[in-house]
């Protein structure tokens, strides 16, 4: 017959034999995952939803710029933003293959939530009409969306493209073929166009 230690308090007696299962806390997954990668054309911040939709791929010169993009994502998309994660592995691999000349098209869903309605119109036309190894002028793209007088607005929309490289704004040039503004700098734009030109010939 078991005896109970009379020195125990009522609470201690009530807890005799109580052995709860201890589990680590279950923390909710974030609404967005992001990472900053160093690439051949500059430093890129990538962010994707849990289902793999790419929300942004933008150039960030330094940590201050990266923090600014993260703050914008938190305000515009969701404050539940976490660093890293396997959901980013696919797009990171595809970017590496593209920059190595081993990939011509990206197989990733793009979420244009950060783009304005006009930007979405421009970027959608760009994706549909300017293939790997080809270029178009701002005026041509303006005409494709039915706004022939909006070449300057098209340029502004592309200059703030939230999904660089994957939505290839580097393929849009001046009317004479001259390279004009690009978020990653003109050297990066030239590098990308030369890469695609070589791949298109191969």
Active-site annotation holds for 164: no
Please give the share of the chain, as a percent, with pLDDT higher than 90.
Answer: 78
More confident residue, 17 or 194: 194
- Asked if 182 contacts 142 with a C-beta cutoff of 8 angstroms, the reply is no
Please tell me the predicted confidence (pLDDT) of residue 199: 80
Question: 3-state secondary structure string, 30-95?
Answer: CCEEEEEEEECCEEEEEEECCCCCEEEEEECCCHHHHHHHHHHHHHHCCCCEEECCHHHHHHHHHH
Confidence of residue 103 (pLDDT cuts 50, 70, 90): very high
Confidence of residue 27 (pLDDT cuts 50, 70, 90): very low
Residue ranges of domains in the chain, CATH in brackets: 32-201 (1.10.10.10)
Please tell me the predicted confidence (pLDDT) of residue 31: 85
The pTM (predicted TM-score) of the whole model is: 0.82
Give the list of residues 6+ apart from residue 74 with CB closer than 8 angstroms, or none: 81
Q: Give me the catalytic one of 44, 130, 169, 188.
A: 169
Please tell me the predicted confidence (pLDDT) of residue 25: 45
């Amino acid at each position: 017959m078991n005896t109970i230690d009379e020195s125990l308090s009522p609470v201690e007696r009530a807890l005799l034999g109580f052995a709860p299962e201890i589990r680590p806390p279950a923390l909710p997954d974030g609404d967005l995952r992001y990472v900053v990668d160093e690439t051949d054309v500059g430093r890129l911040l990538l962010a994707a939803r849990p289902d793999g939709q790419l929300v942004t791929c933008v150039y960030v010169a330094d940590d201050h710029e990266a923090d600014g993009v993260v703050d914008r994502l938190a305000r515009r998309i969701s404050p539940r933003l976490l660093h890293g994660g396997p959901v980013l592995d696919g797009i990171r691999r595809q970017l590496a293959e593209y920059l190595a000349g081993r990939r011509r098209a990206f197989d990733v869903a793009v979420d244009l939530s950060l783009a304005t309605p006009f930007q979405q119109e421009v970027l959608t036309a760009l994706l549909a009409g300017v293939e790997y190894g080809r270029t178009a002028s701002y005026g041509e793209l303006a005409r494709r969306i039915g706004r022939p007088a909006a070449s300057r607005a098209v340029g502004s929309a592309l200059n703030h493209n939230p999904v660089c490289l994957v939505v290839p704004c580097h393929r849009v040039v001046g009317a004479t073929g001259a390279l004009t503004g690009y978020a990653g700098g003109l050297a990066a734009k030239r590098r990308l166009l030369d890469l695609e030109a070589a791949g298109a010939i191969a």
